[in-house]
Structure 1
Amino acid sequence: MSQTTTRSATAPITVSPSGFHVLQTVPLPKGTPEYEAAIASILAEFAAKVPKELYIPEAIAENPPKNVTGVPRESGILTEQELDITEKYDAVSLAEAIANRKFTAVAVATAFAKRAIIAHQVTCCLTEWFMDEAIERAKALDDHLERTGKTVGPLHGVPISVKEHMPLAGHYTAAGYLDTRVKSEKDCQMMAILRAAGAVFYCKTAQPQGIMHLESVSQYGRVLNPYNINLSAGGSTGGEAALLAMRGSVLGVGTDIGGSVRGPAGFCGIYGYKATSYMLPQKDFLPNGFAAELNVLCSTGPMCLTMRDMDLFTKVLLDAKPHLSDPRLIPLPWTGLSGPKPASPLKIGFYMNDGSIVPQPPVMRALEWARSQLEKSSNFKVTTFAPYQAARAIQNIRKAYWPDGQQAVESHLKKTGEPMFPLTKWIIRDAQYDELPASGVLAQRVERDRFRCEFAEHWTGQDVDVVIGPVYVGPATEHDTAFHWNYTAFWNYVDYPGVVFPTPVKAGKKGEESYADDTPLSKEDEHVRELWQKGDFEGAPINLQIVARKYYDNELFSALAAVKDVLQLA
């Protein structure tokens, strides 16, 4: 994965000696010579595994379009069947096609592995790629089906991409710093369940430094947004989001403690589900733990192309009864999309702004579109959901992320000479330098629980079943500007489940849209407006987020099923 020189979307490209290059648009900070040598070795090892016949044409590499979603088809690398497999199926239909022997698992694994490496060359979305291993696994699955006439499980032959930090046997995992990069000896609990259900693993995807940015930029490079490579693909599960948007994956896995599933899903126009914390298995995701979870529990969930794939993923995991091995998990029975219909009319509150930051114009356009669609039907009672002390919640959660202090981050960086990235500086700026004493962590817990109880009463007073609102303050951000997590991190603080879904709305050309009101609500709002004036977000997809109360994950999916046709959901 030898990188190209830094360049803009239209500047000439410098090809590495191996001939394999990965598109980058904004430079990365430099570390010590020892650090840079270590990274060069890792990237060279990646590049050595890629056959030259899978390199994208030099003409595309030297002059890529702003929107690179068409590159897999235009590259000429994929056969017509491989294009068909990767473009016309979701996980559910792929599983059916393999079970019915329309496609072999080998054909499917080959198609997605090839498309993934094409996607990587124009978005920098991968940290590992292991096509040979995937094909070997797929052959075993095909042999089993041929021999027994039965599939291994509901995911038989379905390719699944995995975020870098999740342990997968024989592959590297890292907690967002070079010094934490190690090879896993065994699968973590979730990967073991997915493997037993028939999944085929073929790549691991990029995350940011410390796994704590809303942009996936790390020592491997900067993940680019497929719809506009001058924009971010989001974070921390940005590699997954970019890969799915490029159709180099059909189903991926993310984690979310501040927006890390929902942010990138929104930036890249795909589906993402953040479950209530510890509903889905996370055992051994981070073997050494994460201090933030003393007061903000992490969540996990699928990132995919359809609602029914989110449903399938969740059902497979919960059918395995992971709570029997991990007593931290809440054993909620799963009904999902096929559960009882919600009471009619379904009461939907629209969260038009959080009282602190007004979303940028394309997001407001998407909210107004969705609201108008739902208001046309007697099946829904649509109201405006009043904001509740978002600034307080965001300040609290930013401090709660780092009870071990800024020195914990600095310690990781010093071990290898790794530089601190700009967004790392941003996210730790409210943290104390030294580790909090137990009394300080307790004070954060008391304030968190007080806020949660207050907000629960506020929700009850609003008389809604679900809330629909923004995913982020705007479309996908320009690089190194993913500053304001309000619309995702708030829901982590209160621990409510949420699903991000696409809308038909996309950001227009620079200068085409402006704010309806010129008066900012806060300094943060003023900053967001400045970013809007400076930026060019053309082509960025606009997603929205639907949220339900804590542990109301089934009701959330019932609501999704109810609004599916009206909001044109897949």
Structure 2
Amino acid sequence: MASAEPPLCIQIKPMREGTLEFEAKRAVLLQSFHDKVPPEYRLPQDLLTNPPNDVSDIPRSCGILSDWEIEITENYDAVGLAETIASRKYTALAVTTAFLKRSIVAHQLTCCLTQWLADEAIAHATQLDSYMAEHGKPIGPLHGVPISIKDHIPIAGTFSSQGSLASLVKDNKDCQMVSILRSLGAVFYCKTNQPQTLMHLESDSHWGRVLNPFNIKLSAGGSTGGEAALIAMRGSVLGVGTDIGGSIRGPAAFCGIYGFKATSYTLPMERLLAAPFAAELNVLCSTGPMCTSIRDMDMFMRLMADAKPYLLDPRLVPIPWTGLQTSLGRRRLKVGIIKNDGFIEPQPPVKRAIKWASDLLSNPKHADLLEVKSFTPFAAATAWSKIQRFYWPDGGSLVKSALLSSGEPIQPLSDRIWQEAEPAGMLTAESVNNFRRERDEFRLEFARAWEEQDVDVVIGPAFVGPACAHDTAFYWTYTSLYNLVDYPGVVVPTPLRVESGEQYDPGYTPLSEACRAVRRLWESENFEGAPLALQVVARKYHDNQLFGALGVLKDVLGLP
């Protein structure tokens, strides 16, 4: 049987097929999306059939957006949009319409959306404009700002899932974070694609596979890959993702945008998933913003803190937000440079990005601001071995059986993610409890090693490479390490891209068999044009200090 291809979207690598019944249900779902899109918003079929490798400029040049819609979607971050709407330069309706159009163009090129909420968004924007006309002021600091939301996060009146058709549910109320954003005036206009099981570094759900806008032969990352691709295409300026192994930071790095994973339970997490996630018995999930500027991340965190979500959710830690205004005192900022984690040597362009940052930070003219030193993360290989087992205390059996019972195909990376834990099967409560002791002992050793190396923050890779080819996101060690120890991390884009002909150093010596495999992956694909990004990390609950450090680093590195 021929695969039911997602309507509207480029899909350059086929995904595994399910049963006839499953594929029929999937086809109905995809057709319902297709039917919502006006013909005038659709790209030519010959473009979708024979696309260029780099589709990032097509929204600007395709003729679907007007000149002023291009200006709205390209010239502002979320802070800037809020200011232009408050000053009445643009109406909420004009801004919402521009992002509705750009988001659906981006979807056709990258398969980044799961729902396109045009009618609801237009109605809400119209109400906001009426409020502005009547009261002469915005309803809140996000009045009319369109915000995209990862698919599994509940928005009242929409569907959510955990990346499979079997997990699809209708949500009748907003989760706490969405409720806060709505009260501040945000407009919700789309939900974004994610992986089957939510546990891949590639977004490959029943909606289709998300493509990297800068090289569609590469992944946009996961699990918040739809958000990353959409923001990179300027179909959104601010989105919300979640992260339990790199799910914000990996996609942000792959697509060259900003992404922040906060320390767990410093941001609202209530009802972000329809069902409990067994991985969280020992590895805590977090959430955070994905966007186009440092100040947007800072604004998002400030607005969330100001809402005092901990009053309704006692799990949350009530830490006031000082962010970019955080004082680091009079001493120099101590920055550790990670060249490798002792487990996997980064691929050549990532090493070049690290050198770029290290050279800038080590410039003698910044000696009064920065003390730069080498840093090696503690026991990265051990952490990777542990966390792969911690994620699946049931051996992956529950999600696997749900997929099989629905006739949904198990995608290659789903098979991969539970291969370490599957042989052990369903663990006992005692075994899960012993995992917790392992985790906490590792955290103590990690903290001691950090303190011995005497740094405030570290900067280094967010992934073993710039992005990965489809179905090859095998090693997340550069991000999952910080989920295991629960440290906050920010991905920052650099001005660098992958260049043709980059090669490993002649003196390269593999650090492990995984390191050797990563080199083989580099040599088997063309990564040209992919963005290069880096990750900045601070200690647990030092989220404010992390942003205080970003306030220093952004000027030295020239970050927007």
TM-score band w.r.t. shorter chain: over 0.9
Aligned to 1:451: 442
Q: How does 1:65-464 map to 2 (within 5 A)?
A: 65-376=52-363, 377-378=366-367, 379-433=369-423, 434-464=425-455
- Spell out, residue by residue over 1:310-337, the C-alpha distance to the aligned partner (whole angstroms, 9 max, x if none): 0111111111100011111010000011
42-51 or 145-154, which deviates more: 145-154
- Spell out, residue by residue over 1:495-549, the C-alpha distance to the aligned partner (whole angstroms, 9 max, x if none): 000000011221112x333235321010000000101111110000010000000
543-552 or 340-349, which deviates more: 340-349
SS in 1 for 2:101: helix
Give 1:3 deviation, angstroms. Answer: 8.6
- Spell out, residue by residue over 1:111-169, the C-alpha distance to the aligned partner (whole angstroms, 9 max, x if none): 00000000000100000001121111001111111111121111110000000000000
Q: Closer, same or farther in 2 for the Cα pair 1:248/1:166, shift >3 Å?
A: same
Q: Does 1:504 align with 2:495?
A: yes
CA distance in 2, matches of 1:252, 1:303: 5
Query: Unpaired runs of 5+ in structure 2?
Result: none
Asked if the contact 2:199–2:414 (Cα under 8 Å) also holds between the matched residues in 1, the reply is yes
Give 1:287 deviation, angstroms. Answer: 3.1
- Spell out, residue by residue over 1:47-97, the C-alpha distance to the aligned partner (whole angstroms, 9 max, x if none): 010000000133432332111111111110001110000000000000000
Asked if the contact 1:227–1:539 (Cα under 8 Å) also holds between the matched residues in 2, the reply is yes
Count residues with an aligned counterpart. Answer: 555
Asked if the contact 1:342–1:558 (Cα under 8 Å) also holds between the matched residues in 2, the reply is no
Give 1:409 deviation, angstroms. Answer: 1.9
Give 1:349 deviation, angstroms. Answer: 0.3
SS in 2 for 1:302: strand
Give 1:228 deviation, angstroms. Answer: 0.3
> Which residue type is aligned with residue 274 of structure 1?
K
Asked if the contact 1:241–1:264 (Cα under 8 Å) also holds between the matched residues in 2, the reply is yes
Q: Does 1:487 align with 2:487?
A: no
Segments ≥4 residues shifted beyond 2 Å: 2-5, 57-63, 341-344, 511-518
CA distance in 1, matches of 2:107, 2:515: 34
Give 1:407 deviation, angstroms. Answer: 1.3
Asked if the contact 2:348–2:502 (Cα under 8 Å) also holds between the matched residues in 1, the reply is no
Aligned to 2:538: 548
Give 1:386 deviation, angstroms. Answer: 2.2
CA distance in 2, matches of 1:144, 1:341: 42
Normalised to the residue count of structure 2, the TM-score between the two structures is: 0.97
Asked if the contact 1:473–1:484 (Cα under 8 Å) also holds between the matched residues in 2, the reply is yes
64-73 or 227-236, which deviates more: 64-73
Q: Closer, same or farther in 2 for the Cα pair 1:418/1:430, shift >3 Å?
A: same
SS in 2 for 1:501: strand
Q: Does 1:33 align with 2:20?
A: yes
SS in 2 for 1:504: strand
CA distance in 2, matches of 1:42, 1:74: 30
Asked if the contact 2:10–2:49 (Cα under 8 Å) also holds between the matched residues in 1, the reply is no
Query: Unpaired runs of 5+ in structure 1?
Result: 6-15
CA distance in 2, matches of 1:406, 1:102: 52
Q: Does 1:527 align with 2:523?
A: no
Asked if the contact 2:4–2:26 (Cα under 8 Å) also holds between the matched residues in 1, the reply is no
- Spell out, residue by residue over 1:155-212, the C-alpha distance to the aligned partner (whole angstroms, 9 max, x if none): 1100000000000001010122211101100000000000000000000000000000
SS in 2 for 1:502: strand
Which of 467, 491, 502 in structure 2 is aligned with 1:476? 467
SS in 1 for 2:493: strand
Q: Closer, same or farther in 2 for the Cα pair 1:123/1:3, shift >3 Å?
A: farther
CA distance in 2, matches of 1:561, 1:335: 12
SS in 2 for 1:230: coil
Aligned to 2:558: 568
- Spell out, residue by residue over 1:229-266, the C-alpha distance to the aligned partner (whole angstroms, 9 max, x if none): 00000000000000000000010000000000000000
Give 1:568 deviation, angstroms. Answer: 1.2
Taking only the aligned residue pairs, the percentage that are identical comes to 57
Asked if the contact 2:267–2:287 (Cα under 8 Å) also holds between the matched residues in 1, the reply is yes
Give 1:288 deviation, angstroms. Answer: 1.8
Q: Closer, same or farther in 2 for the Cα pair 1:500/1:342, shift >3 Å?
A: farther
CA distance in 2, matches of 1:265, 1:554: 20
